[in-house]
Structure 1
């Protein structure tokens, strides 16, 4: 049976601008064939077992010629696979989607076109520049700045284009700006016409240069602007002074390394990117099963009814505990007579996903505070099950035992350095690409240093943001000085402290 090929527009750069139809198709794809400008995070929507093929093109370098891409799509469809061809922007706006669709049609392969948000409109909008504006511009044209190199002469009617349309948007034209600007001016467009160059539009590292038609090529060269970039010409550029919003966000221009596990990093990244930061996920840790292969935890679950209290110190511990509980073909009802204590709102929220509410959440999200809050509720002898990471501070069990409780420490997971990150982390630090690195646990700190090894000196000049005093103490013990320590030991608290730090940092 022949499969279907879906030509899906990935949008202009911000991966969250993918259409719902595009997401739906990615979720059931067997093969994803992706472009250079399609954000890698979109691939997370595809099933883990889906085949992922990169055929990206950059100026002067093509992973595969277009004809081979066409043949690849046909071959995968003939294998009976559901193929998503993920293309930056819109497939039919200088995306060569028409060529791919025609090739599929000739081969008798069913296909569907899923429009995407075109960079020609979205990128100016993110720069605060509307392509049309009442009383200022009632027409606009989208023009390629990079025509087919096989052409002997330009197919663009420069005489009509230069003055016949209010707003001109050139895509893929940054390398040809001297030629483009010269043709427009010799064809009648004033050199004083407002213009803007927008690089990596809609992404958190978006850069906008406001200039004039006559100065655009010089400014692009002077500031080292390289593709991908949009060039827009017209009076609408003046609107940016009152409509700029994307680059005005409080964390714009700040690049932050996120060291949490791959699964956990996305929530923190999303929050910081909403505020304008560019987040690079560099997970320094990964979670693995404990060294005893859950022996202590399984034994505790087998005798679960004998415990008075069940304590969790992290959301990871909650999820691992319930995973093992399911292995015993049990569920939340097994905890009917047990009181529950957690450190932190995130851990309490994880517990709520299983239909349970914590009986005790300490005022400070740290082990000392949980011990202080729990001890008045203990009766002698209380039996406590503490589910936590394999390697953790012993302050909580030690204090509880001193108060007369019998404590079973049941490791639910262990944290290990994520070795896959090292090859990405070192170049980022060598290139001074990170302004700030978040440290959300002591293990992220120790694993970061473990990954760097004798290259730990690369951290000089990079500010560290710690989620709380325990993590900050680990930094200090390792010879590092945190730039900030969250006063509320949560992701939201860390985010607020980063905002405060950035504000102060800018004032300085």
Structure 2
């Protein structure tokens, strides 16, 4: 068997949009992804449906996979002929141990690419409103590890050079050694009044900051139990934050959202909420298996007076089937309906006008003039007429354990239901023992449209936020204006 290929990819500092184009292309081509704790799990959504996902994350008190085991696994999977992606937070060449992994691959004759990423020492300060350099405040910048392989883990650095020769210093993962760092910088000539800022979860919507000076910051961090993952930035340039703070002023900054998914396509709503500063976790992740359609239905398309597309995915699948079978779509003389606003838009993108499924009315019994197009999971919801099955949709079990880890580190304060079907997914489907009902008791609940609100009410819950219109912009605006949310 031919050897595979390995991509050692920098995932960026947290914001999923900060991965490079080349890094994302590698993710989309992967057979196996070994990912770190600091690589945003949202990036895994772009992996192929059958991609194997392996967690290599390290926490301060425990290791899931030690470096030697990671090296061995990279070699093992590549020797099986697979495309392997090692997805690392930040930049793999900045305190990312990429050299050790590349060396192991080289020793076994395995080809690899190293894909740089945006490092957190640069990005986290920028998201806190602080550039790394500025002509008036600092023209030199250093990135420094705040722990090493010594017995006590305290870094052995050229303290005098740092204190007197560098204007701005970014310490990586420095909270545990913060007193040691501050003492040594002061001891070797850095003024005690030098501004310092701690930035936790930089570039995420849950970003936290703490400002002080070399003389005060260690005690401040202890008082509020500030913890890693964090960047410690030292220098006069920190004072620019008062003028340049931009990210934390976004209308949904601080919102940590669980967005319930019913489709397999990337969510426009998730992108909208993220663009306004929210942390968005989408769940569950669905996979689709295409099925062969009923040939009798294909041969009799012209006989239907009404066709209902239950999802945007069903639109794509249907037209793909027609193209593969060289069917002239002009045979379809029916009036078209969409099961959601997104389905209606998907048809409009193909130049076809459709109405909402609600316009079909409350017909009962058989309807030979109606064709319902969709995946197997919605068949019972549309008992009338014939059913054109496009695919089998299943929850990807790999993402249940990923969600559990994400919920450990995030503090979800908002649950968004984009459709009535999403209520059923979260409360009735078997998605693991995560405790969704406990979460719903604590979080603010937001619904896209009155139909979704009614579905939630049937389950015994009231929506705290209801969008004026059933679109993503309206829901985002309603969340920003909510008076209940204690985050503002």
TM above 0.5: yes
* Counterpart in the other structure of 2:134: 133
> Which residue of structure 2 lines up, in the alignment, with residue 436 of structure 1?
414
- Deviation larger for 455-464 or 381-390: 381-390
After superposing the two structures, state which structure 1 stretch, 136-145 or 64-73, moved more. 64-73
| Structure-2-length-normalised TM-score | 0.83
Q: Distance in 2 between matches of 1:289 and 1:460?
A: 38
Aligned twin of 1:446:
424
- Counterparts of 1:325 and 1:109 in 2: how far apart (Å)? 43
1:390 aligns with 2:367: no
For residues 123-171 of structure 1, what are the alpha-carbon distances to aligned partners after superposition, in whole Å with 9 as ceiling and x for unaligned?
1111111111111101111111012225998531112211211101101
Could you tell me whether the CA contact under 8 Å between 2:16 and 2:40 is conserved in 1?
A: yes
What residue is the counterpart of 1:398 in the other structure? none
Q: Which has the larger Rg? A: 1
CA distance in 1, matches of 2:405, 2:154: 43
How many Å separate the matches in 2 of 1:162 and 1:350?
Answer: 59
Question: TM-score, with normalisation over the residues of structure 1?
Answer: 0.80
Q: 1:493 aligns with which of 474, 477, 487?
A: 474
Question: Per-residue deviation at 1:250?
Answer: 0.4
1:347 lines up with 2:325 in the alignment: no
What is the deviation of 1:321?
A: 4.5
Which one is further off, 98-107 or 473-482? 98-107
Are 1:284 and 1:444, in contact at CA under 8 Å, matched by a contact in 2? no
The answer (yes or no) to whether the contact 2:447–2:467 under 8 Å persists in 1 is yes
Q: 2:154–2:177: 8 Å Cα contact kept in structure 1?
A: no
Q: Distance in 2 between matches of 1:440 and 1:29?
A: 30
Distance of aligned partners of 1:490 and 1:299 in 2 relative to their CA distance in 1, 3 Å threshold:
farther
Q: Partners in 1 of 2:233 and 2:196 — Cα distance?
A: 6
User: Shift in Å at residue 344 of structure 1?
Assistant: 5.5
CA distance in 1, matches of 2:78, 2:51: 14
Paired residues of 1:261 and 1:286 also in contact (CA < 8 A):
no
**Distance in 1 (alpha carbons) for counterparts of 2:134 and 2:320:** 56
| Shift of residue 443, structure 1, vs aligned partner | 2.6
Q: Is the Cα–Cα contact under 8 Å of residues 284 and 447 in structure 1 kept in the other structure?
A: no
What's 1:158 paired with?
A: 159
Q: Is 1:304 paired with 2:285?
A: no
Does the Cα contact within 8 Å between 2:142 and 2:169 map onto a contact in 1? yes
Is 1:259–1:285's contact at 8 Å kept on the other side of the alignment? no
Cα distance in structure 2, aligned partners of 1:425 and 1:31: 19
2:457 counterpart residue number: 476
Query: Which residue does the alignment assign to 1:357?
Result: 352
Gaps of 5+ in 1: 373-380, 395-406
1:305-324 equivalences in 2 (<5 Å): 305-312=302-309, 314-319=311-316, 321-322=318-319
Residue aligning to 1:377: none
1:457 and 1:506 map into 2 onto residues whose CA distance is: 18
Sort the Cα spacing of 1:423 and 1:17 in 2 relative to 1 into closer, same or farther, 3 A.
closer
Q: How much has 1:342 moved relative to structure 2?
A: 3.8
1:12 and 1:117 in contact (8 A); partners too: yes
CA RMSD of aligned residues (A): 3.9
CA distance in structure 2 between the partners assigned to 1:285 and 1:77 by the alignment: 27
Residue 413 (structure 1) shift: 7.9
Over 3 Å counting, the alpha-carbon distance change for 1:6 and 1:177 in structure 2 is same
Partner of 2:385: 408
Give me the whole-angstrom Cα distance separating, in 2, the residues matched to 1:432 and 1:74: 33
Residues in 2 aligned to 1:268 and 1:315: alpha-carbon distance in whole angstroms: 14
Per-residue deviation, 1:208: 1.2
Secondary structure of the 2:101 match is helix
More helix by share: 1
Local SS of the residue matching 2:336: strand
Q: 1:341 to 1:123 in 2, by over 3 A?
A: same
SS at match of 1:6: strand
Do 1:29 and 1:83's aligned partners in 2 also have CA atoms closer than 8 Å? yes
CA distance, structure 1, for counterparts of residue 66 and residue 487 of structure 2: 50
Decide whether aligned partners of structure 1 residues 192 and 487 sit closer, same or farther in structure 2, where only a CA change above 3 A counts. same
Identify the residue that residue 463 of structure 1 maps to in structure 2: 444
Q: Report Cα offsets for 1:382-412 as digits up to 9, x if no partner.
A: 9554557434489xxxxxxxxxxxx736475
SS of match in other structure, 2:267:
helix
Whole-Å separation in 1 of the counterparts to 2:55 and 2:141: 33
The answer (yes or no) to whether the contact 2:30–2:84 under 8 Å persists in 1 is yes
Change (3 A) 1:393 1:433: farther
Q: Structure 2, unaligned stretches of length 5 or more?
A: none
What are the equivalent positions in structure 2 for 1:159-198 lying under 5 Å apart? 159-198=160-199
Closer, same or farther: CA 189–483 of 1 in aligned 2, 3 Å: same
